[in-house]
Amino acid sequence: MHEYSITELAAGLERGDFTSRELTGHYLERIRRHDGTLNSFISVTEEAALARAEAADARRARGEAGPLTGVPIAHKDIFCTDGVRTSCGSRMLDNFIAPYDAHVVERLDEAGAVMLGKTNMDEFAMGSSNETSFYGPVSNPWDTAAVPGGSSGGSAAAVAARLTPAATGTDTGGSIRQPASMCGISGLKPTYGRVSRYGMVAFASSLDQGGPMARSAEDLAVLLGAMAGFDHRDSTSVQREVPDYRATLGDDIRGLRIGLPAEYFGEGLDAGVRAAIDEAVAALRAEGAEITEVSLPNTHLAVPVYYVIAPAEASSNLSRFDGVRFGYRCEDPRGLEDLYTRSRGEGFGDEVKRRIMVGTYALSAGYYDAYYLKAQQVRRMIRDDFTRAFEDVDVILGPVAPTPAFDIGEKADDPVQMYLSDIYTLAVNLAGLPGLSVPAGFANGRPVGMQLIGNYFDEARLLNVGHRFQQATDWHTRAPGDFA
């Protein structure tokens, strides 16, 4: 059963080949058997999952089933889940039990999905390798010596190892697309505002966006249809109709204009990654797409701009974690200042502290104009690059990351090299555009993802292109042998 896609699982449930309780039990057994190797889950909600599966079976028996009724999924541990620990991969929230559900969790619950548990992640979503988690690093199922990417590395590893058919993730600078690429699965970062951020613990509010992770573009279309939609509780949520993303998956892509940014194929791109992307381009050309070159001249500024804006917003958002109202609290504080200092010093990890310090500096008197304001001005230039490019092309294509997955510990002591692993994904968040990663081959025995970038609210087109590519190739069907 774990080799079936979401569509196949839904069909099997409808035919009565298996019940949701049987299916859920199968995945829970796989988690018990394999996750000791991967560390992809922080919490497994076995009892609640089985109860929810039985409710889904009853719903189906009444003829009330939808496309996700009874299908197991996992949630990144940054989404609040009523009555279940929501840790954000941090000691700071190790004891926090959320009193409500995030909008994404609500929507998937309403669609009938069964939550298996909460997946591991970089602490407060700050990282590109899933090594900053308080609960330890996650291993890549294709090579357990390698990182799975981050920050949604637990979700990516769990989907790749067939411990869950799908999972939610969040993407602030590539945190869905990069781990999807490194684990050989599909992942979609929607347009900013397409999916509500209510109940998604904030890292950088103008960049964060939740999205689905699964094996195929078709599965992503089903998931996004359930997740997307207006939410009055999120001031950045866009009141816009949600299309049927599955309806256009099979559309012909002959004549589709695909742009290759020259800046994404220069120095620093691994030769094996380049070869895989070149083959992917050839496959799309064979499907009738027209390939042309475009320019995104401010791409090289995305890393410095992101690492001013994101830490500044993190500094503000994480100020609420002070040891007073909820979360970690130091023992025997000697006064209010000692409570704040030691609770934050003991509760946060090194990478989170680093970003809080950088962000606080950038927002401080005398430096706001020089750093934060300037970064916002350059952010507009990056967005304008995409606006001009989309006058000439329909979709932009490139690699997701400059290299395949690197070894655990390889970049842990070099933050700059770690940050550069997101060089092709950051600009999409800065511009608020949708981006899709789909498996496109291997380099050095590790998966490579192809990134497709669309214009605002053009997720249906991205999923269409991704699906047509997956109809012509089999990369998305391949599974790591040790977890078959």
Supply the residues annotated as catalytic: 76, 151, 175
Collect all residues with Cβ–Cβ distance below 8 Å to 277 and sequence separation of at least 6.
265, 397, 398, 399, 440, 448, 450
Distance between CA atoms of 143 and 200, rounded to whole angstroms? 30
Q: How far is CA 461 from CA 174, 334, 470, in A?
A: 20, 58, 14
Residue among 4, 258, 69, 39 at smallest CA distance from 150: 39
Beta strand 257-261 pairing with 210-214:
unpaired
Please tell me what DSSP assigns to residue 169. Answer: E
- Which pair of structure tokens corresponds to residue 232? 């009055």
- Which pair of structure tokens corresponds to residue 151? 């920050």
Which burial class, exposed, middle or buried, applies to 365 when counting CB atoms under 10 A from its CB (0-12, 13-18, 19+)?
Answer: exposed
- Which pair of structure tokens corresponds to residue 402? 């400059």
Distance between CA atoms of 351 and 139, rounded to whole angstroms? 19
In DSSP notation, 387-453 reads HHHTTT-SEEEEESSSSSPPBTTSSTT-HHHHHHTTTTTHHHHHHT--EEEEEEEEETTEEEEEEEE
Is residue 189 within a helix (H) or strand (E), and if so which, with residue range? Answer: strand 186-189
Cβ atoms of residues 309 and 375 within 8 Å: yes
Cβ atoms of residues 382 and 298 within 8 Å: yes
Q: How far is CA 54 from the centre of its chain?
A: 29
Please tell me what DSSP assigns to residue 320. Answer: G
Tokens 């089985």 belong to which residue? 50
Phi and psi angles of residue 431, each rounded to the nearest 5 degrees, phi first: -90, -15
